[in-house]
Each structure stands twice: as structure tokens, then as C-alpha cells.
A and B are shown apart, each in its own frame.
Chain A
């Protein structure tokens, strides 16, 4: 196991090394207005699946696929598909309350501007790592999540260059059981959460606050391996280029969380007790 840990951190180190390789980037003229301006909120609907597939005593495969819709001129409210989002990682369970993940994201961005004659679909790449800590509090659980992403994006215009940015995300979330004293099967829970996403990089000049997301979800734990949740999110953040403009959004979110364990009974033994 010791060797495993070393290699794990080795990978993170080499990753960080890659991150600091910088890119030449054409500078863009930036004009800051007198006052900031809040744009009209945009409505979105997200369908998210979260898979957590156990592949070893301490390892799991984090597999998330999200379908994100955004309103357009012609189809308000639910809108058209804006992003298909594939997030994968190998996670390491440090103990029952702490885990780490490292992996990649491929996001497919669809052009939702119906007037645009640019490309309809462009890919976006990310390397991400995440550190998650849980804390019990009375009957509820509190979660802190630090997620760092290294992100390569490009615009819809033909031959547009990739822009490299780092994203710094912190999320605080609580899950409070409603009809029981514990988060266990057949329990409804309410989950308020707040996430701040900051960004940095050569292309980010005056717009470090990419997004602030405030969400409340209502969830239902169907079985120990399956949970459903739905909620509403308000978000706001600076436009990357026109830093004085603040985008706003209202998002309906539907989530399915599943965590199968295909290991054979014998391989699950001897049972891990981790550190408790």
C-alpha cells in the first residue's frame, strides 16, 4: 500500500509539472465599464448521473455523465442541449470520510446561439483532481469539496485556439435527513449547497470569479447503492472577456447517484475496517 501512495502522489506531482507549462496567447483588449452590470438570468436544465464503481479495496472508478440543456430564443425554458459532459476519474478511499480523485473530463459543447454560423460542436478537455472530506453533525452530514481543474477550451469560431485556464473550486454541502435520524435507505434528505468557482490563467485578466452556485436539492435514498435527487440552482459569475458583466442562471437539476460493486463476495473479504 505504501508504494501505492507514493505513486499516487508522484502522478499528482507530474501533473502539476505539466500544468505549469504555459502557452503563448494573444492578448485581447479589455475595457472595464464604470459599473458592473447583471445580465438577464438564463434558464437551464441539467440531467446528471454520478457513478461510483468500486474496483478494489481502496479504489473506485468515478464515472459521471451529464446532459445540460440551455434555453434558446426558439425553445425557452428547457432549451436545447448545450453540453454533454463526461467526467471520469480513479478515486482513492483514504478512509470512510475522506477520498481523493484524479482523472479527466471530455466535455462536448454545443453552440446554442441559433444565429451563429460557426461550428456547432467543439470539445473541451480537462484534467481534474478533487479532495473531499465529510463531517457528521448530529443527524446530518457536512461535506467540503476542493476540486482543481486544468481546462483547455476553445470557441465555436473556425480554427479558434485553445485557451488554457485553471479552475479553483470549493463546495460546501450539507445533507440533512428529513424522515429519519440517519442517512439510510428509504430516507428523504434536503441538501443545501454553495460552490465558489474561481479561475486563473493568462486569458483571465479581470474576471477571476467564474461562478457562484447556490443550490438546494431534495433527495431520496432508494437503496444503499442508488439515490435520486432534484433541485434548483441559482448561479452568477463574471463574463471572462467583459469582466463588468455578470451572467446569471437558474438551473433545474436532476441527479441519479449509483454505486455498484461488482467484486465477487470473496474479493470483498477480508472486510476493510479502514481506520475506525
Chain B
């Protein structure tokens, strides 16, 4: 009996072996690949888990093109590393080159070598679970005839599990920066930058546990305090774009003196480049992770709402100012028309005194650094010559401009509220001015516009007639009827337009008609394309299935219910509706629905649609189907 047990176990064991093999089945891809703007050839290993392709194993992605190199310039790159369970792991190398060649070549051993010139960017280091670990070196070199002639940029960091350690060094061809961190990656102590001769100290940044307290410029001996040391609250943030912007704001004109900021910005740029690639491949963000402290002047929700409103007012006011200042007709008549000139000048003044300062105010908010800016000094910074006056002086001898309801505004008082008042005042003033100018802008412009419009209308209508004539004979009768209806509607609308005598009315009607005719034109295209589209969709929803019993490949229609809903309900509905509708508004809607349905049919092919198919069984009308299509939400991958 023992013998049989042994046999039984062997059999089980063998079956088990096979099952294990299947579970670990790993795919390998080799072929064209794209990450963001980089396209080239990739070779990588992956496995699939649920719905995801998970990178696992060696990864290589590269591009170089000899032909473009010889012709003009080639942008090549090589990205090489390893993934474990979707996270970058192990040694990685990134290389980006931009080369030209003057077609000089050398023969070395059995190889032809073509000498290139340009720049090469190279980053190397180890990643551990996606985070930099150990030394990371990034260099940008200038290459001439295949020899490095100059190092344009060089950055050296040392990480432990993503946290920068000890010290770093960033160099450009004319300066160098050295700094250090605490164990947790917080900037600390002096960060010193050196000038071109490497011995001469250029500037020194003094950090205290991440807080940048002062900058000393060695050339002038000037000491510039940076952040408030007695702020009520501090926050630890990454040394990222926000911090760099905040520094630019705080340092203002002092910024040009040293090189530290440029070096940090450039370093951020090269790290971002790698970050973009790694995150798009599914790994975690890649960054230097330097931590710095900044003072926080927290905003409550009301203050945030106010800021949002200021931002809206500014956007509207800026739009209006652009309308006025860029109107070519106004630009011509203001030379002779003093009134026009007056309003033009008021607008210019409003832009320089109100809008431009407000813009830098709103920028702080939009860049998410408003809370790090000391509120007691911000207005002074934005309006260096003081809060603007409600009365705007234009020219000596002319009456200054003031909004009629100016008295209702109060520019004094606490910061944000005053700013909101200023923004509302600016916006209302712009509206007022536009109103004053409107009759000057209109008459001449209207006549010119009408002429252009009519030309457009006629050419579109001619196009429509030609399309209908050529398409109708090839299409089934119900299609031809729909086309006929579209053509008749276009003609009727044109007749209505011709009967309008008031130029203002004519213009607005004509503008609507133009978009209506455009809709008709695209409906004709969409309609006549249906037979072809149905074929396309049928092909799209046909799978090649390999039948193991026959050892042949057979075609299988998949998601039949979706295809039937489209072919048997949606398309006939569209054709029918088009042949019965004579209203322009409906045309626009129909066009949107058709484009939507067509696109959705392509999208649904690869989505999980079991639920939708079940619901479609009960759907009888086009409205129900379109609604179901909208409800089906693609699963996030």
C-alpha cells in the first residue's frame, strides 16, 4: 500500500509544480515605449496583478538615432535600472544627451565611431524601494568631438532611505555650493557658495534647524535677515519650488547677488526630470527631500474665501482691460478722439496702479505661499508707493476719473478686506469704462463684422449643399431624408437672416446662425459616416479567439449588447431625429450626443462593462442608453 501512497504524492507534487510555475509567470516586453515626452524602445519585465501591469525585474529604455544625428541634432537617452514590485530598486542610471555631429568619423578596431558634440546629462545612484539610498551623482557635461570639455553642472548628495545625509555639493561652471543637514534631512548650519575661482566665498546662508535666518554676502559684507525669528508658528516644508519662490519674494533685489538660489533651482530641475520619469513608471516620488522651516501665518476659511474672490475680481478686470487696450479700432480713433483717448489712459493707469500689484498679491496665493508671507509687510511690498487712490489723475487739465459709487469703497483698514475693496473697485471701474466706450467700439466694427460674417455664412452654406449633393445618392433613404432636412433648415435660417434689417440684431442672429451652420456641417459628416462607423465598431468589438479544440483562430463578437444598442437603437434614433428637427439648438445637442456616443463606444471596449450590459438589456430608448453610457465610469487603473 505504501507504494501507492508514494505514487499518489508524486502525482500531486507534479501537478503542484506546474501550478507554481503558472503563478510566477512573468512577462517580458520589448518594443516601442513612451514616458511623457520620451519615446524610444524599452525592454522590461512585469507581471500582472488584478488590472495592473506591475514592473518587476530589469528595465531598460533608450533612444538614439544615427540618422537624425547626422542630419541635424539627436536627443538620445538611456534609462536603466531595476524594479521590484513596481518600485525602483537597485542601481539606476539616467542619461540624456543632445548631440550634433559634423560627420567626422574614426575607425577604432572594427567599429566606426562618429564624433559628437553637445551636452550630456547623467544621473547615477541606488534606489531602495523607490527612494534614493547612498550616493547620487548628477552631472551635465559639455562634449566636443566626443570629449568632455566642460562640466556645466554637478550635484552630489548622500541619502539614507530617501533622507539626505551629512552634506551635499552642487557646482556649476562658475560657482559651487556646499551645505549640510541634520540626521533627519533638515538644512542646518552654514551653506556656503563659492565664486568662480573656488577660493573666494560668495555668500553664506545660515540655517538653524531648517530656518533660514540670514544671508551674508561676502563681497559687500551685507547681512540680510530672511525669515522672521519670532513668528507665532513654524512649519517644516520641503525645499521645493514653493520655498524657492518664497525666497525670491523675501529677498527681492538682493536675489541677484549670490548664486545659491540658481544652483538650488537647477538642482531641483534635474531631480524633477528624474522624478517625472520614475513616477510615470509607477514608482514613488524622487526628490532630494531637504527639509526647511518657514514661519506660518495661518489663514482661516473666511480669509481664504476672500482671497478667492480677490483672485476672481482680478481675472475679470484683467480680461476687460485687455479687451480695451488691444482693440485695434479704438487704438486708431483715440488719436483723434479725445474722449476715447481719455478712457484709454484711465485704463492704462488702472492696470499699472491697481491690477499689476494685485496680480503679484494673487500670485502668492495661487502658488500656495500666501500663508508663509508676513501679512504685516505684504501690502507694503505690493504697493510700494502706498495704497492707490480712488481718484485717478490722467492728465493735467482733465477731470480725474472716479467711479460714481466711489464713496461706498473703503481702501483703509485691515489687510485682506482692503485688498478686496481695491479689487472690486478695479473691476467695476473697468466695466464702467467699457460701457462708456461701447458705442465707439461698435458701429464701424459692426459693419465690418457683418461683411465678414456674411462671407463666412455663404461659404459654409455652399459647402453644405455640395456635401449633401455628393453624399445623398450613396446613402440609404432615411439617411438621405435626414440630409435633405438639414439642407432645408440651413436655407430657411439664411432666409430669416436676410430679412432682418437692424444691423445689431442681424449681427447677433448671424453669429448664432454661423455656429448653427457649423453644427449642420458637422452633423452631415457624422451622419454620412454612420455606416462606416458601424463597421468600424463591429470590428473593434470582435476578438480573435484561439480555439484549443480546433487549433484555429475564430472571430468572436464581444459585448454584443453594447454594439446592438449602438447599431439598432442609437444610430436609427440619431438619423430619425435629424430628419425631423428644424431647430439649431437641437442640432448642437445632437452633434454632441453623436460625438459622445462614438467616443464612448471606443472607450467601452476596454472597460469592465458587465453591469452596463445587464442594464442595457432593459433599455429601449436612446435617452436611456446615453444615460447608461454616462453612468458607466471607467475603473481607475
Cβ of B408 under 8 Å from chain A: no
CB-defined contacts of B550 to chain A, threshold 8 Å? 141, 175, 183, 221, 227
CB-defined contacts of B4 to chain A, threshold 8 Å? 152, 162
Give the top 10 A-B pairs by smallest Cβ distance, nearest first: A134-B551, A224-B545, A224-B554, A90-B18, A52-B548, A224-B556, A257-B549, A183-B550, A56-B22, A267-B48
Question: How many of chain B's residues have a CB under 8 angstroms from any CB in A?
Answer: 35
Q: Which of A7, A11, A91, A184 contacts B554 (CB 8 A)?
A: A184
CB-defined contacts of A60 to chain B, threshold 8 Å? 548
A52–B53 Cα distance when bound, in Å, is 26
Q: Which single residue of chain A is at the shortest CB-CB distance from B50?
A: A264
Interface centre among A15, A93, A104, A266 (most CB of B within 10 A): A266
The residues in B between 534 and 563 inclusive whose CB is less than 8 angstroms from any CB of A are 545-556
Cβ of B29 under 8 Å from chain A: yes
Cβ of B606 under 8 Å from chain A: yes
Cβ of B111 under 8 Å from chain A: no
CB-defined contacts of A15 to chain B, threshold 8 Å? 14
A227–B21 Cα distance when bound, in Å, is 30
Cβ of A72 under 8 Å from chain B: no
On whether the beta carbons of A259 and B548 are closer than 8 Å, the reply is yes
A185–B552 Cα distance when bound, in Å, is 11
Pick 16 A–B contacts, CB within 8 A, sort by A. A7-B17, A55-B22, A56-B25, A59-B21, A99-B548, A102-B18, A103-B15, A104-B11, A141-B550, A182-B552, A185-B554, A221-B547, A225-B556, A264-B51, A265-B606, A266-B53
On whether the beta carbons of B549 and A259 are closer than 8 Å, the reply is yes
On whether the beta carbons of B556 and A185 are closer than 8 Å, the reply is yes
Chain B proximity mask over A244-276: 1 for CB below 8 Å, otherwise 0 = 000000000000010101001111001000000
Cβ of B501 under 8 Å from chain A: no
Given contacts A182-B552, A224-B555, A264-B50, contact A4 B21 (CB under 8 A): yes
A10 CB, min distance to chain B CBs, angstroms? 8
Q: Which single residue of chain A is at the shortest CB-CB distance from B548?
A: A52
B391 CB, min distance to chain A CBs, angstroms? 67
Given contacts A56-B25, A264-B50, contact A90 B549 (CB under 8 A): no
A184–B165 Cα distance when bound, in Å, is 66
Cβ of B37 under 8 Å from chain A: no
Cβ of A127 under 8 Å from chain B: yes
Cβ of B27 under 8 Å from chain A: yes
User: Chain B: residues with CB nearer than 8 A to chain A?
Assistant: 3-4, 7-8, 10-11, 14-15, 17-19, 21-22, 25, 27, 29, 48, 50-53, 545-556, 606, 608
Say what secondary structure dominates the interface of chain B: mixed
Chain B proximity mask over A44-86: 1 for CB below 8 Å, otherwise 0 = 0000001010011101100000000000000000000000000
Chain B proximity mask over A101-119: 1 for CB below 8 Å, otherwise 0 = 0111000000000000000
Cβ of A179 under 8 Å from chain B: no
Q: Which of B15, B549, B555 contacts A184 (CB 8 A)?
A: B555
On whether the beta carbons of B11 and A127 are closer than 8 Å, the reply is yes
Cβ of A39 under 8 Å from chain B: no
CB-defined contacts of A270 to chain B, threshold 8 Å? 27, 29
On whether the beta carbons of B551 and A97 are closer than 8 Å, the reply is yes
A7–B22 Cα distance when bound, in Å, is 12
Cβ of A223 under 8 Å from chain B: yes
A55–B18 Cα distance when bound, in Å, is 11
CB-defined contacts of B548 to chain A, threshold 8 Å? 52, 60, 91, 93, 99, 259
Known: A152-B4, A227-B547. 17 other contacts (CB 8 A): A8-B18, A11-B17, A18-B10, A59-B21, A93-B548, A96-B551, A127-B11, A141-B551, A143-B551, A162-B4, A182-B552, A183-B550, A183-B554, A224-B556, A225-B545, A264-B50, A270-B27
CB-defined contacts of B19 to chain A, threshold 8 Å? 90
Cβ of A14 under 8 Å from chain B: yes
On whether the beta carbons of B549 and A11 are closer than 8 Å, the reply is no
Q: Which single residue of chain A is at the shortest CB-CB distance from B606?
A: A265
A104–B8 Cα distance when bound, in Å, is 10
A130 CB, min distance to chain B CBs, angstroms? 12
Interface centre among B4, B21, B52, B545 (most CB of A within 10 A): B21
Q: Which single residue of chain A is at the shortest CB-CB distance from B545?
A: A224
A52–B549 Cα distance when bound, in Å, is 8
CB-defined contacts of A184 to chain B, threshold 8 Å? 552, 554-555
B49 CB, min distance to chain A CBs, angstroms? 9
Q: Which single residue of chain A is at the shortest CB-CB distance from B11?
A: A104
B234 CB, min distance to chain A CBs, angstroms? 47
A71 CB, min distance to chain B CBs, angstroms? 29
CB-defined contacts of A162 to chain B, threshold 8 Å? 4
B445 CB, min distance to chain A CBs, angstroms? 56
A204–B19 Cα distance when bound, in Å, is 35
CB-defined contacts of B25 to chain A, threshold 8 Å? 4, 56-57, 59
B20 CB, min distance to chain A CBs, angstroms? 9
Q: Which single residue of chain A is at the shortest CB-CB distance from B607?
A: A265
On whether the beta carbons of B553 and A14 are closer than 8 Å, the reply is no
CB-defined contacts of B546 to chain A, threshold 8 Å? 96
Q: Which of B10, B14, B27, B549 contacts A50 (CB 8 A)?
A: B549
CB-defined contacts of B21 to chain A, threshold 8 Å? 4, 7-8, 59
